[in-house]
Structure formats: C-alpha cells, structure tokens
Amino acid sequence: MSDDHEHHHVDWREHGVKVIPGNSLDPNTTQTPGMNRATAINNARAGAEKIWAGTVTIHANAKTGAHHHGDLESIIYVVKGKARMRWGEHLEYTAEAGPGDFIYVPPYVPHQEINASRDETLECVLVRSGQEPVVVNLDIEPVEKPEDVAWIDPIHR
C-alpha cells in the first residue's frame, strides 16, 4: 500500500478555497468602449491554472465581429438581458439566451456575440478553459454587422 498522505503538508489555509467578492473584481485596466469587463478568477488572482472566470457587461445593441477562440472552451451565463449567438462557417445558425441560460461555445467554432436588445444592457458571467487570451478574428461577413458599438471580448486585452 502506498502512502498518499503527502497532502497533509499543504497549507490549506493558503492554498484552499477562495471567495472573490463581486465588488473586488479586477477591472483589467484596458477597458473597451461598449463593454465593461472584470476578472474574478485567474492565475494571478486565485492561482487557477486551467480556467478563467469573470464578468462582462455589454452595452445595448453591441456586437462582435466573427471570431473563434482556438482550442478554448467558453461558457457564458446570462445574468440580465438578452444575448443572441450566431455561429457556423457563414454564421448561418442562431440562438438566443436570456437570464438564467447557459451558452456553451466549443473550441474553433466561428461565432458572433450580439446584445439582442436595443435598450437593455447584457450582463454575463464568462468562464474559459484556459488563461491564454486566444482570439482568431475571421473574415466572414456577419449577417448583423457591428454598427453602433463593437463588443470586444474580455480576452482581446
């Protein structure tokens, strides 16, 4: 029988559960017009190695251009407002999500995020499967052209 008790040498007070209060999120100095973003969980703030999490607030009628996030998986949880996602080689598929809904974006999927409301802010929680800010902008003509405000993803730092 192997002795698996090495974990008793870990300082769990220092390396245990962390609570990051909503009012102490890090609003990464670079902000983008049309959105506000704040990092809650990353390597620097919480020691996370495989995931990143934060909040993103997208102004009314804001839209991204077409892009994908390489091998990263993304989960978007809609807190308030209405999100519309378009995806596919020609962004030919569409789905909408409202408060309480989760959106999953697999690796390499070409997509566009849209605040589907012309007057309500879209508030989301975003979780990613990595720390690296991978964004690959695609030369796809979106059905809905970014007009008023471009929604720049939190990882376009």
Phi, psi of 76 (to 5 degrees): -115, 125
Fold designation for 24-137: Jelly Rolls (2.60.120)
Average pLDDT, integer, range 119-131 = 92
- The ranges assigned to domains in the chain are 24-137
Look at residue 153 and give its three-state secondary structure.
coil
pLDDT at 7 over 70: no
Average pLDDT, integer, range 50-66 = 87
pLDDT at 49 over 80: yes
Task: Choose between 30 and 100: higher pLDDT.
Answer: 100
Please report which confidence band the pLDDT of residue 41 belongs to, taking 50, 70 and 90 as the band edges: confident
Distance between CA 60 and CA 100 in Å, rounded? 19
CB 121 within 8 A of CB 65: no
Condensed to tens digits (0 to 9), the pLDDT of residues 66-123 reads 889 999 999 999 999 999 999 999 999 999 999 999 999 999 999 999 999 989 999 9
Task: Return the bridge partners of 86, or none.
Answer: 94, 112
Residue (of 71, 78, 54) closest to 127 by Cα position = 54
Tokens of 57: 């607030």
